[in-house]
Amino acid sequence: MIQEKEKYDAALEYATVMHKGQYRKGGKEYITHPVAVAEIVREKGGDLDCVITALFHDLLEDTEATEQDIERIGGAKVLHAVKLLTKPHNVVMSEYISGIRSDPIAFLVKGADRLHNLRSCIKTSTEFRKRYIAETEEWFMDFLPEIPGVVEEIRKTIV
């Protein structure tokens, strides 16, 4: 158990350092997002690899983090899931989603990520919310059972 806590602490510290200076649209420090995603993953029964993947899910896309560091701290399964979760610049959504669906860790983390982003998007523009709902309905509705209900709540905020 101590070893798991040390591994989690090392992952949290690395993610915090890598996201330093980044902020969410609402003004909160960016690290609050991966921490919230990790908490959702934990609530859904995710193991330590899932939780660390949640902490790391945006690192390759948004920071100078390296695959080597991610693997050193989290292990090969975490790195594999993080790579699946990293959206390529010229993304083909069907391929991106197919990759995520192929890996149970990536699938759980992406569901938690989408859920947290949906819960947070109330602070964004109406246009952003419309686009985010449309993308969610097309690709992510079955990732977690809470997602359809949150989409309906957001829809009520669009006039």
pTM (predicted TM-score): 0.95
DSSP state letters, 21-46: T-B-TTSSBTTHHHHHHHHHHHHTT-
Q: What is the pLDDT of residues 85-109, one digit of tens each?
A: 999 999 999 999 999 999 999 999 9
Residues in the chain: 159
Q: What is the pLDDT of residues 113-133, one digit of tens each?
A: 999 999 998 878 899 999 999
Domain ranges across the chain: 2-155
Query: Cα-flanking dihedrals φ and ψ of residue 82, to 5°?
Result: -60, -40
Q: CATH assignment of 2-155?
A: 1.10.3210.10
Residues classed as catalytic: 61-62
